[in-house]
Structure 1
């Protein structure tokens, strides 16, 4: 299946649907009294379903359960411009018997990875709307499940998650960049875990999502490892920075471990099986593109070095002339004036000046 076909299949996956199998849900074993169809809790949950069915953003998908209306599962697709881009992040929720007087309780499917200050490796979710984090609290009869999901997407899985921690200041930008690198590695590991064990009712969605976006993910791995773009900001070759950024040895080592395993995981889900040559052909082309881009960066660096060398020689030459003529202003800004003065005095011909630098 080609990328366009895979993307089409992903789009056909309903954003909201009612299903029956909740056996792997985090709160499946939680036994609360059945919710009476005439209760305020039941009516509120039905309203929540309608809002979710009509108003979900394109990158959030939800499943609710016919036999357990108190349970809900959602997946959020990591947004472009963040270290979570193209990743999938699963959340299980349970509506307590006193809902909506109290917020839903939630659990993040972490696979033991702590990839956000608000999402613990235990699955614990820190979010003000769930009354588990500083900020605006859950307001009964006003707050909604949709607000919770949108907050997770926009406020938690954001461009600079390092600053989700209270009291961290903006001048810790370098630490934020390093944190984004770690987050991207953990996001890639999460992809592999999801492909090994698909959460129920999302099996087809997960496979088709990574068939559609796998090549972009692999390209991002290479681009970030080589320093062509900072983590989270690769979209295409237009995203490449004018100069390569420094990449830590720790990040390079992590990606050296992750990349080949991610390739194998994506190979297994190819439509024609792991021996499908299309992905391997893509990787060969990707390696050629990376090699060519590295050579272009090196050439540009050498050209810049040569230009800087000529500029410094020129400044040094005019600095010495400044001493001779007793000028007090900067040599660089008065270079043209000095040259005109020399020509006027007839001391040095134009060719002589050029020969000096």
Structure 2
């Protein structure tokens, strides 16, 4: 992905979640104001310090808006997944933190990322926390927000992000099941992104999945054959590869995960092939003819097997909102 700039200025803001906000009018029209200068400082910090796994686009005509994509890191159930966020700076920035909306496609992939798009984070003042964890007008930056989401939210065991969840053995078991459910949702989001990438990231999304498609399908293959726990496949990511185990050593994964993967993995494989990923001649045992139009029902909700997994997790979290 080296040919894609980590930071760039673009013009098309037509699909931005916060495009209707009025905050940007006074900011853009006052290039000598403190808010304008604060946002320009943010641009400079991001341009000079973004890691390889975060990409940002800012808008020439609406400097109060920004869009970022975070690549899920190895060693988590979010590996090789893309997470898009629309960002807006308020009219009194940095006195108040930026506003964020997560491109969830209706899926709850993390206790801190709601299917409504809400991002729950102390640094954004959308969650309670110690004073040092909350937004500091004199020191906090947009870069810190993005790094916090990548490192603290999209982590190895997101189940424990939910307040009140202990570290007992049965919680570890639920955490593993949560990772399985999350991984399937990540695949569904990948499929949606290939069908309709966010503006200004079209080429990026398609190039990313062409490059990472083979590794993603290898991970699916290992997971479905119970060779490694979900989130721990690392082949091609620079940190070794998952070793195949004997039948006696095979890891036990939930029946729900296996059923949903049998449905979702072939659909994503077909999308990767249509996108030009170099896997045209490869064949997996679980491949079968597909009817892609039936991926979701008309309401956009996942199929029944995944619903059962999510309901189980919801009971553990005592969630009242739908996932």
Q: Scaled by the length of structure 1, what TM-score is found?
A: 0.74
Q: Could you say which structure has the larger radius of gyration?
A: 1
Alpha-carbon deviation of 1:34?
Answer: 2.4
1:269 to 2:263 alignment: no
Alpha-carbon deviation of 1:240?
Answer: 2.7
Alpha-carbon deviation of 1:170?
Answer: 1.1
1:280 aligned residue: 280
Alpha-carbon deviation of 1:144?
Answer: 0.3
1:60 to 2:76 alignment: no
Q: Which is bigger in relative contact order (C-alpha 8 A, separation at least 6)?
A: 2
Alpha-carbon deviation of 1:38?
Answer: 1.2
2:93 aligned residue: 99
* In 2: Cα distance, 1:231 partner to 1:114 partner: 17
1:138 to 2:129 alignment: no
Mean Cα deviation higher: 164-173 or 114-123: 164-173
Q: How many residue pairs end up in the alignment?
A: 271
* In 1: Cα distance, 2:270 partner to 2:164 partner: 41
* In 2: Cα distance, 1:134 partner to 1:281 partner: 51
Alpha-carbon deviation of 1:134?
Answer: 2.5
Alpha-carbon deviation of 1:13?
Answer: 0.3
Q: 2:14 aligns with which of 12, 15, 23?
A: 23
Secondary structure, counterpart of 2:279 in structure 1: helix
2:181 aligned residue: 182
Alpha-carbon deviation of 1:241?
Answer: 6.1
Alpha-carbon deviation of 1:140?
Answer: 0.6
Q: Confirm or deny: 8 A CA contact 1:91 1:108 kept in the other structure.
A: yes
Secondary structure, counterpart of 1:79 in structure 2: coil
User: Superposition RMSD on alpha carbons, in Å?
Assistant: 1.4
* In 2: Cα distance, 1:128 partner to 1:142 partner: 15
* Per-residue deviation, residues 50-90 of structure 1 (Å, max 9, x unmatched): 00000001100000001000000000000000000000000
Return the structure number with greater helix share: 1
* In 1: Cα distance, 2:20 partner to 2:193 partner: 22
1:239 aligned residue: 242
> 1:1-357 maps to which residues of 2 (within 5 A)?
10-32=1-23, 33-35=25-27, 36-135=30-129, 136-171=133-168, 172-236=171-235, 238-240=241-243, 242=245, 243-270=249-276, 279-282=279-282, 284=283, 286-287=284-285
